[in-house]
Amino acid sequence: MTSFGKVVEYSAKHPKPANTTFSYGTAGFRTIGDTLESTLFRVGLLAALRSQSKQGKVIGVMITASHNHERDNGVKLVDPMGEMLQQSWESYCTQIANAETDDEVVQVLTSIAQTENIDLSITPRVVYARDTRPSGPLLQAALEDGLAALNANATSYGVVTTPQLHYFVRCLNTADTPVAYGEPTEAGYYEKYGQAFLRLVDGRSQPSKLYIDAANGVGAPQVRKLADTLKSPYFNIEVRNSDTETLGKLNIDCGADYVKSNQRQPAGMSLEPGSRYCSFDGDADRIVYYYADENGSFRLLDGDKIATLVATYLRDLVSTANIDDLEVGVVQTAYANGNSTSYIKDTLKLPTVFAKTGVKHLHHEAERMNIGVYFEANGHGTILFNPSAVSKLQNATPQTPAEADAIQRLWNLRDLINESVGDAISDMLLVEAILICKGWSLAQWDAAYNDLPSRLLKVVVNDRTIFKTTNAEQTLTSPPELQDVVNSLVAKYPRGRSFVRPSGTEDAVRVYAEAATRTDCDQLAYSVAGAVF
């Protein structure tokens, strides 16, 4: 029997729905959960092949649709260091998902194996997990069939957050190496991040309670387990929206996406001035903070605010550590509020670059920096220390206790962040640690700069593929002349900025605008949307 000998028989159990086209987009496959069975089976095959192409390194598969509706589901592959799947393999995913017959599935596998020169005698190793969605178990079973068809050594991590799965993959592939990342278990995850957090805050004043909106998703049980492990007054939390059992509650009127999009608190949280709140999304890879000011008005601390808080703290530590040429930089997307970018450039005097929307693009830009802080405005991000930064820290010879302390704090910070991907739980510990070290309230953090009024609109068009962009999605190259129209509209408003980009996850075009006043901002947004339509 050839390597693909069992595929046809297994594939027949998971027929592709007729007249459906699947596409591996910014965050993998994502659509109505019930339509994804064949796709999950085929992703299992591809994950096994990907592992073989990496000489048997462990590949991850996460079944989740993040902040989307409970009836949706999705799947994405995780590469050996816990990063997103290499871009050149995304088209293989799309290709195999759309193969019309079982024989065609085998043909696609054969052709990938040839193109990539894959040694099919290697035993594939794959780990997988899912979020709390009701379609998860069925899709997981289909995935398991795909893995069985290629005789993969496969392990389930059950129901965990997306960043936890990324963490496990990185741990498994770095075990017994000089860059070992941690124990590839849930307990290992709480231990690594929890202990780094405690080392950073030790001896400081204890914080007030943090109220966490877990979007009725997988973040709820996981953050509770972290609290149970830590048992520390420094991690004083109360979890709200933690019902993962009742159907129909996931992400409804709650979660980071709801809070960011609606600029208001989630259901189940009434804001008391002086108290502290944050929201995760449905798979706990995004986080935003918020509070009520003394007038009771809602104030959002989004990904841009987190990036500036973290960059400020790192910049100060690096300066105290007094290490030559150790630089902190910030990666944002075009959605970053203009005032956050000005604050990073003009006040913090740190380099900042723009990347295209989607975590993998920011991640790659951040890898070029010594210490790269990357965040999308929607609350998705982390920090990366590149090898040059690590060796500068290792070789540093502190001359004073203050320098030694700053270097130790930089190491602890590095242990506190999930370097494989943005992680709501580890980002929350990071923000908490910085606030505790600075003795800051959310209002003090918020005071660094004021957001410019902004507006994000969705425009449904006949064909979004005609919209093409360059310059990190800030400039349209097609349709012809539309960018000129946008430019002339922007020029009418003080501090005006606007861009148009096709969505990577929905059949729509997004229009973003900001300007000095709310009225100007809205006029700009709607006039650009009018030009697009």
Any contact of residue 378 with ligand 16G (CB under 6 A)?
yes
Q: Counting contacts by CB under 5 A, is residue 281 touching Zn ion? A: yes
The distance of closest approach from Cβ of residue 25 to ligand 16G in the complex, given in angstroms and rounded to an integer, is: 8
CB of 150 to ligand 16G, least distance (A): 26
Instruction: Report the C-alpha gap between 443 and 402 in whole angstroms.
Output: 28
List the catalytic residue out of 66, 242, 340, 527.
66
Residue 156 interacts with, from Zn ion, ligand 16G, none (CB under 5-8 Å by kind): none
CB of 391 to ligand 16G, least distance (A): 29
Q: Is 502 annotated as a binding residue?
A: yes
Closest CA to 244 of 271, 187, 282: 282
Q: Which is nearer to ligand 16G, 25 or 194 (CB)?
A: 25
User: Of Zn ion, ligand 16G, none, which one sits near residue 281, judging by CB under 5 to 8 A according to partner kind?
Assistant: Zn ion
Closest to 251 (Cα-Cα) out of 234, 230, 266, 229:
266
66 is catalytic: yes
**Does the annotation flag 281 for ligand binding?**
yes
**Angle at Cα 380 formed by Cα 287 and Cα 22, nearest 5°?**
120
Interaction of residue 506 with ligand 16G, rule CB under 6 A = yes
Residue 137 CA to residue 34 CA, distance in Å, equals: 11
Q: How far is the CB of 510 from ligand 16G (least distance, A)?
A: 5
Q: Is 285 in the site for Zn ion (CB under 5 A)?
A: yes
Q: Which of residues 61-90 bind Zn ion (CB under 5 A)?
A: 66
From the list 512, 468, 513, 474, the residue with the least C-alpha distance to 493 is 513
User: According to CB under 6 A, which one of 59, 359, 515, 528 is a site residue for ligand 16G?
Assistant: 359
* Using rule CB under 6 A, residue 282 touches ligand 16G: no
What mask of x and - would describe binding to ligand 16G in positions 466 to 505, judged by CB under 6 A? -------------------------------------xxx
Residue with tokens 């290499």: 86
Size of the site for ligand 16G (CB under 6 A): 13
Of residues 30 and 54, the one with the C-beta less far from Zn ion: 30
CB crowding 384-411: b at 16 or more within 10 Å, else e: bbeeebeebbeebeeeeeebeebbbbbe
161: contact with ligand 16G by CB under 6 A: no
Where in 37-66 is the site for Zn ion (CB under 5 A)? Answer: 66
- How many secondary structure helices (H) and strands (E) does the chain include? 18, 19
Q: Report, in Å, the least distance between residue 358 CB and ligand 16G.
A: 4
**Nearer Cβ to ligand 16G (66/341):** 66
Residues within window 17-36 making contact with Zn ion, judged by CB under 5 A: none
Q: Which does 265 bind (CB under 5 to 8 A by kind): ligand 16G, Zn ion, none?
A: none
CA 216 to chain centre: 18
The answer to whether 240 touches 273, Cβ cutoff 8 Å, is no
Query: Looking at 510, 521, 525, 529, which residue binds ligand 16G (CB under 6 A)?
Result: 510
3-state secondary structure of 515: coil
Q: Are 401 and 384 in contact (CB under 8 A)?
A: no
Contact 307, 332 (CB under 8 A): yes
- The pair of structure tokens assigned to 270 is 């009434």
Stretch that binds ligand 16G, among 40-48, 375-383, 395-403, 431-439 (CB under 6 A): 375-383
Least distance from C-beta 362 to ligand 16G, angstroms?
8
Helix 90-97 with 37-53: angle, nearest 10 deg:
140
Decide: is 73 part of the binding site for ligand 16G (CB under 6 A).
no
User: In the bound complex, what is the minimum distance in angstroms from residue 32's beta carbon to ligand 16G?
Assistant: 17
At how many degrees (to 10) do helices 219-230 and 186-201 cross?
60
Amino acid at 461: V
Burial of residue 448, with CB atoms counted within 10 A of its CB: 0-12 exposed, 13-18 middle, 19 or more buried: middle
- Rg over alpha carbons for the chain, rounded to the nearest Å, is 23
Q: Residue 431 has which token pair?
A: 């923000």
Cβ–Cβ contacts within 10 Å for residue 203, how many? 4
List the binding residues for Mg(2+).
Answer: 66, 281, 283, 285
Q: Which residues bind ligand 16G (CB under 6 A)?
A: 26-27, 357-359, 376, 378, 380, 503-506, 510
Q: Which residues bind Zn ion (CB under 5 A)?
A: 66, 281, 283, 285
Active site residues: 66
